Amino acid sequence: MKARKVILALVLAASLMFAFTSCTCKPGDIEEENITQPNAMSTPSAISSQSDIAKPAAVTAGVIMVGNQVVDIGDKIYPIYFDFDKSELRSDSRNTLSELAQWMKNNPSVNLRVDGNCDERGSNEYNLALGETRADSARKYLVYLGVSPDRLETMSYGEEKPSCSESSEDCWSKNRRDDFTITSK
């Protein structure tokens, strides 16, 4: 009896581990257990939760079109990133902004605020100015792509709103960014 209880406990424990720690399971097991049929709302959310900065496709995942309707899944538009001490748009940022501009044309009631941010290195106050320029770079490009200037505001946080706080290039590169906030829709 005792031995059977132990085995049962082990089996239970193993299945619990299987349920909660899917990453440690074999790939075959995951396919069977963890992929469920998503509904229309959660699909983009699942995609957007990968904050892989190299993927420009993640730009407008915060708001999606379902049929002809805008569905809000958390007002999240992904940032664009800058090189150290630079405010010029990188080519990946231009792609991202093109998608954003298209989405704004499709959603004409939405207004945005662009927040410029810097990494922790350098003067706090000069970084405030640099943040203004970074935000304005994105604003100018969106206007160039046909978005009405009335729909865009900018603000600078300098280095005061880091998304990551370690002193490493990996972290700094995530902090040199423009955030986009929906101010009205």
Partner 1 sequence: MKNKVHSLPNSTFKIVALMLFVIWATTGLPALVDARVYLELDSPNLRRIPLAVAPLQPLCGCRTDEKTALIGRKILIDDLEFSTFFEILDDPSNYLEKPKSCNLAQGSFDFRNWSLIGAELLIKAGYSLSGEKLVIEFRLYDTLASKMIVGKRYRGRAKNIRLLFHKFTNQVVESVTGLPGEFSSKIAFCGRLNNEPAQELYTCDYDGHERKQVTRNKSINISPAWSTDANKLVFTSYRRDNPDLYLIDFMKGKETKLTNRKGINAAAAWSADNRHLTLMQRYENHSEITIINAASGDTILRVTKSSANQASPCWSPDNREIAFVSDRNGTPQIYITTAQGGRWRRLTKQGVYNADPDWSAHNDKVVFTSRIEGIFQICTIKPDGTNHKQLTYARRNCETPCWSPNGRHIIFTEKINGIEQLMVMDDKGRNLKQLTFDKLKKKSPNWSANR
The contact set with partner 1 (CB under 8 A) reads: 85, 121-126, 128-130, 132-133, 136, 139, 154-158, 160-162, 165, 167
Least distance to partner 1, CB of residue 129, Å:
4
What is the rounded distance in angstroms from the CA atom of residue 25 to the CA atom of residue 45?
A: 24
- Minimum gap (Å) between residue 170 Cβ and partner 1: 16
Provide the CA 97 distance to its chain's centre, in angstroms.
Answer: 14
> Nearest distance from residue 19's CB to partner 1, in Å?
32
Tokens 């010029």 correspond to what residue? 88
Residue with tokens 């569905």: 71
Q: Measuring CA to CA, how many Å separate 120 from each of 9, 29, 50, 79, 124?
A: 51, 43, 25, 18, 8
Instruction: Please identify, using beta-carbon distances, which residue of 42 and 51 lies nearer to partner 1.
Output: 51
Count of helices and strands (H, E) across the chain: 6, 6
CB 78 → partner 1: shortest distance, Å?
A: 19
Considering the complex, state which of residue 55 and residue 151 has its C-beta at the smaller distance from partner 1: 151
Closer residue to partner 1 (CB): 61 or 130: 130
| 68 vs 168 by CB, closer to partner 1 | 168
CB 135, min distance to partner 1, A: 8
Name the phi and psi angles at 39, rounded to 5. -90, 175
Total Cβ atoms within 10 A of residue 77: 25
Q: In the block, which residue shows the tokens 């100018």?
A: 140
Looking at the Cβ atoms of 32 and 170, the one nearer to partner 1 is 170
